[in-house]
Amino acid sequence: MPRNKEFDYSQKLQKVRDLFWKKGYHTTSLRDIVNTMQLNKSSIYDSFGNKHTLFIESLKDYSDLKEQQYRKALKNGTSPIIILEKTIRDVVEQAIIDKKTCLIVKTIFEVAETDKEVQMLLVKITSTLQSILADLVKSSQEEGAIKMTTDPKIVARFIFSGFSSLWSHYIISENKKEVNEMVDLLIEMIKK
């Protein structure tokens, strides 16, 4: 008779997600995964699949967190431009607090170019997050808070790509003041 699983799936997935986030996909070994999840190899394979499947599930879990973060900002109830500014600042601030770049950005540079499954998942994830930003940009344009008439989807992609630049600058400089000045410039450019 098979044994029942005696662990919290979500908790174990969060632990391994944080491991991939810290070490990256390629440098995370099966031994690291076993030690972090505190499960034996057979339990990991039976419950989560192989390392790649586990990584995909970790990315999905992380993207759910990011989407919740973005959607939480929408419930603020203030004007769209204030929500947009706060979202941009919160995303960057969280990366500084965590002292690590966004797992999505890290994965784009480490894995996406050579792994089509990961690339397709990242396209879906970034599309969802950019759509939330584009809706805020469009509403801000309609209110006149953003003067540019550029397609909101393009502006959203610009903001999203700006995040990777801001994170990389912080990783190199560890200078929060400089990053905040860059965030101010990004927001100022969007409003023009």
Helix ranges restricted to H, the chain: 9-23, 30-37, 41-48, 51-74, 80-98, 103-107, 116-143, 152-173, 176-191
Dihedral class, residue 49 (left if φ above 0, else alpha if ψ from -120 to 50, else beta): left
Confidence at residue 5, expressed as pLDDT on a 0 to 100 scale: 60
- What domains lie within the chain, and their CATH numbers? 55-191 (1.10.357.10)
| Per-residue pLDDT reduced to its tens digit, 65-74 | 999 988 888 8
Confidence at residue 3, expressed as pLDDT on a 0 to 100 scale: 53
CA-closest candidate to residue 191, choices 163, 159, 164, 162: 159
Confidence at residue 75, expressed as pLDDT on a 0 to 100 scale: 83
| Per-residue pLDDT reduced to its tens digit, 85-134 | 999 998 899 888 888 888 998 999 999 999 999 999 999 999 999 999 99
pLDDT-based confidence at residue 176 (cuts at 50, 70, 90): very high
